Amino acid sequence: MSVATPPAAPPPGRRQRLARRVAAVGAMPLLQTARRLLRRDLRVYAWHRVRPLEDGFTFDPSLVSASPEGFREQVRHLRDRYRPLRCADLAEALAGGRPLPRDAVLLTFDDGYDDNFRFAFPILRELGVPALFFVATGHIDSGEPFAYDWLVHLLLTATPSAARLPAPLDDLQVPPGRQARLELAWQALDRIKALAATDQEAWIDAVAGIGGATPARMHPDCRPMDWHMLRSMRAGGMEIGSHGVSHRMLAKLDDAALLGEIRGSRARLDEELGQDTLAISYPVGGDDSFDARVLAAVEDAGYGFAFTYNNGSNRWPPARRHALLRQSVEADMDAAWFAGIAALPELFAHPSVQRTYPA
């Protein structure tokens, strides 16, 4: 395995610089203590992928939330200074009308990549910390990468003959150079998420059709977990939740497709894992991914909790247990910044960035 030289990190922003200064003078524990006395809430952390990056990686590197070494440091910090809980603990506290312990945290993962099993799970088991893994059951069954991952792969590996993207993004061309193509892929992903889910899928198929590509089932760089892995993780103290069937934006679906995603994924998880699935996270997870119709359908399907991908912490008991906030963990978070976000997210964490669509 040849480990890639990571791209040059962006200059640290003001939140990151402040976190480094606070950590350098040893003041981070004081901030944590002060917040603990003033506020009892739940902080939920969200990772996607934990893995090293090798040369030739042709999927989205921005979804690699941490290296294995960085993840171990993050989990150890949360274990030593906070109170990691299971989602089942939240349900018991809510049912009993009990407060959560101070400094309560919940660790979560979205999507269900097999590096969650290969790298993250052994670290969590070693450190004795539980986590909740949200998986898209259709991809667990098929072994195919998610459509968004597949799009990034197509654009990174496109031949020069696939120079112009299909309508409605035909104002964009595939440039030379990996970084330029990555930036094109991120722009394309952002723009197609304004479309209905079926139109998103048709557009990605059109991009694939330019070069005659088919989804790379079980691609070594972008494999979903399988049911054996999920059963092993559950036996090892982890929790498994729903991320839909096909990782489709739920608010972009009609009623029948919406129910198929949320009910079908829950039934499949219950069948394969012998559980009563407690939680779902919304694919993509911004405000355009769920709405009042989705919230009602998720509650009616029997989920006790649902998680967004909007940044923030949750007062307890939560006013909206089917729209819980999380803190995304990104690869550019060094140890000081991660500690700052954990200690005082109101100061150190970025606000959520929402897509805005033209009228």
Question: CATH no. for residue 125?
Answer: 3.20.20.370
User: What pLDDT is recorded for position 161?
Assistant: 59
Amino acid at 178: R
Pairing relationship of beta strands 132-135 and 324-328 according to DSSP bridges: unpaired
User: What pLDDT is recorded for position 351?
Assistant: 81
Same-domain check for residues 102 and 230: yes
Residues 6 or more apart whose Cβ sits within 8 Å of residue 67: 50, 51, 52, 53, 331
In the chain, the largest separation of any two C-alpha atoms, in whole Å, equals: 62
Task: List the domain range (segments joined by +) for residue 162.
Answer: 147-211
Contact 324, 281 (CB under 8 A): no
Same-domain check for residues 46 and 193: no
Residue 62 lies in a domain: yes
Cα–Cα distance list, 123 to 74, 126, 134 (Å):
11, 5, 18
Residue 88 lies in a domain: yes
Look at the chain and report how many structural domains it folds into: 2
Residue with tokens 């690869």: 331
Residue 15 lies in a domain: no
Q: d(Cα 201, Cα 245) in Å, to the nearest integer? A: 14
User: What pLDDT is recorded for position 244?
Assistant: 98
Same-domain check for residues 235 and 139: yes
Same-domain check for residues 324 and 192: no
Residue 159 lies in a domain: yes
Residue 187 lies in a domain: yes
Same-domain check for residues 111 and 245: yes
Same-domain check for residues 243 and 273: yes
Same-domain check for residues 284 and 330: yes
Residue with tokens 């981070």: 28
For 310, the 3-state DSSP assignment is strand
Which of 211, 238, 256 is the last residue in one of the domains?
211
Cα–Cα distance list, 105 to 37, 283, 297 (Å):
16, 21, 27
Which of 211, 241, 260 is the last residue in one of the domains?
211
Cα–Cα distance list, 3 to 55, 57, 59, 67, 133 (Å):
6, 10, 15, 11, 27
- What parts of the chain have a pLDDT lower than 70? 1-11, 160-162, 211-216, 353-359
Q: Three-state SS across 79-100? A: HHHCEECCHHHHHHHHHHCCCC
In terms of Cα–Cα distance, which of 203, 210, 217 is closest to 146? 217
Residue 296 lies in a domain: yes
Pairing relationship of beta strands 314-315 and 41-47 according to DSSP bridges: antiparallel
Same-domain check for residues 242 and 340: yes
Whether the model clears a pTM of 0.75, i.e. scores above it, the answer is: yes
Residue 44 lies in a domain: yes
Same-domain check for residues 232 and 315: yes
Same-domain check for residues 247 and 104: yes
Q: d(Cα 39, Cα 132) in Å, to the nearest integer? A: 24
User: What pLDDT is recorded for position 139?
Assistant: 97
Residue 263 lies in a domain: yes
User: What pLDDT is recorded for position 52?
Assistant: 94
Torsion, CA 146, CA 152, CA 157, CA 162, rounded to 10: 110
Same-domain check for residues 248 and 201: no
In terms of Cα–Cα distance, which of 339, 342, 259, 336 is closest to 302? 259
Which of 211, 237, 264 is the last residue in one of the domains?
211
Same-domain check for residues 132 and 248: yes
User: What pLDDT is recorded for position 352?
Assistant: 77
The strand pairing partners of 50, in sequence order, are: 66
